[in-house]
Amino acid sequence: GAKARKRNTWMFFTQQLVDASRERFAMDTGLRRALDRNELVLHYQPQARVEGNSVFGAEALVRWTTQEGEVIGPGRFIALAEEAGLIHAVGRWVLREACQQARQWELRGLPLRVSVNLSGLQVVQGDIVGEVRAALRQSGLSPSRLELEITEGFVIGHADEGLERLHGLRCLGVQLSVDDFGTGYSSLSYLTRLPVQCLKIDQSFVADVPGDPDDETIVAAILSIAERLRLDVIAEGVENAEQLDFLKSLGCLAYQGNYLSPPLTAEQFDQRWGVGGPARDA
Ligand code: C2E
Ligand code: MG
Ligand code: MG
Ligand code: MG
């Protein structure tokens, strides 16, 4: 009857909670070990100019390869790393690794800019300016070859505390961009106050263009705001030629997405775009 069903639902629900907290605990200790054992790895997604399709940069995206060989994406462990206070260690590793890789490209004559995602916590807690300075110094990378991505949501929530740090980062000579732009539902006035050079159009707006009139309008509006404010734009999540043609028709200059290439290991990236590879341009 209904009572038994209620009880079953409750037990099912409780079991889910137990499983979830068990998984969190396993992930927490696992992630600590992953840092010690060097189980994190960066994949690089190329970014290209719409005109000529020349690759000018790569976004570094972290993955965790467990000892069992399972690849865990950032969607499953970044939030946990933030809660467990491990994001600083993870973020520091990502920064250093990405700078070293970009320096190698630089030394081989490949003028690629590398983009690193920052957690908001890295910006408001800790010494992000010192961390970035150290990563640049240690690798020898030119600061202009490093771009740091901050999310719009973070920017809105912490504009005042974060602002000084963002200016500090700019003073190092690195580029700053707003990731997932358009998803934060906020006043746009912050754009004129922040020392950012680039907006990344969130892939959710790119997914259904051309065709969805609302998303078409939003993409067009973002491109026009960026142009007026003299900001660069990169469209994310471009998966087909129709999307790229649409973006091109609106004057979007740069993009990334599976249509160009999914994120690649450094080795795969070199095979496709590195010196000695078939071609530098896609
Ligand atoms: P994001 O920075 O917005 O990165 C774009 C995500 O879209 C990546 O997922 C990428 O693999 C995926 N993507 C790229 N092209 C396409 C496409 O054509 N279609 C679709 N559907 N997806 C595409 P990923 O690698 O799973 O990363 C997810 C998010 O995790 C990132 O979103 C970023 O916010 C975060 N993240 C990744 N690496 C780091 C990191 O090192 N530190 C921090 N704090 N966050 C990171
Ligand atoms: Mg990003
Ligand atoms: Mg994004
Ligand atoms: Mg995202």
Pick from 110, 128, 44, 143: which is nearest to 280 by CA? 110
Has residue 88 got a pLDDT over 90?
Answer: yes
Is the C-beta atom of 94 inside 6 A of ligand 1? yes
Residue percentage of the chain with pLDDT more than 90: 71
Question: Nearest residue CA, atom 43 of ligand 1?
Answer: 117
Is the C-beta atom of 201 inside 6 A of ligand 1? no
Closest ligand relative to 182 C-alpha: 3
| d(CA 162, ligand 3 centre) in Å | 19
| d(CA 178, ligand 3 centre) in Å | 9
Question: Nearest residue CA, atom 23 of ligand 1?
Answer: 237
| Tens-digit pLDDT profile for residues 10-20 | 677 677 777 77
Confidence of residue 280 (pLDDT cuts 50, 70, 90): very low
Pair 109, 53: CB distance under 8 Å: no
Has residue 279 got a pLDDT over 70?
Answer: no
ipTM exceeding 0.95?
Answer: yes
| Tens-digit pLDDT profile for residues 217-274 | 999 999 999 999 999 999 999 999 999 999 999 999 999 999 999 999 999 999 998 7
Has residue 28 got a pLDDT over 90?
Answer: no
Separation CA 226–CA 205 (nearest Å): 16
Closest ligand relative to 45 C-alpha: 1
Confidence of residue 277 (pLDDT cuts 50, 70, 90): very low
**Model pTM?**
0.91
| d(CA 204, ligand 3 centre) in Å | 9
Among 44, 59, 61, 206, residue to substitute to test ligand 1 (most atoms within 8 Å of Cβ): 61
pLDDT of residue 276: 47
Range of lowest pLDDT (21-25, 33-37, 89-93): 21-25
> What is the three-state SS of the chain?
CHHHHHHHHHHHHHHHHHHHHHHHHHHHHHHHHHHHCCCEEEEEEEEEECCCCEEEEEEEEEEEECCCCCEECHHHHHHHHHHCCCHHHHHHHHHHHHHHHHHHHHHCCCCCEEEEECCHHHHHCCCHHHHHHHHHHHHCCCHHHEEEEEEHHHHHHCHHHHHHHHHHHHHCCCEEEEEEECCCCCCCCHHHHCCCCEEEECHHHHCCCCCCHHHHHHHHHHHHHHHHCCCEEEECCCCCHHHHHHHHHCCCCEECCCCCCCCECHHHHHHHHCCCCCCCEC
Has residue 167 got a pLDDT over 50?
Answer: yes
Is the C-beta atom of 258 inside 6 A of ligand 1? yes
pLDDT of residue 278: 44
Pair 13, 43: CB distance under 8 Å: no
Which atom, in ligand 1's list, is nearest to the CA of 259? Answer: 18
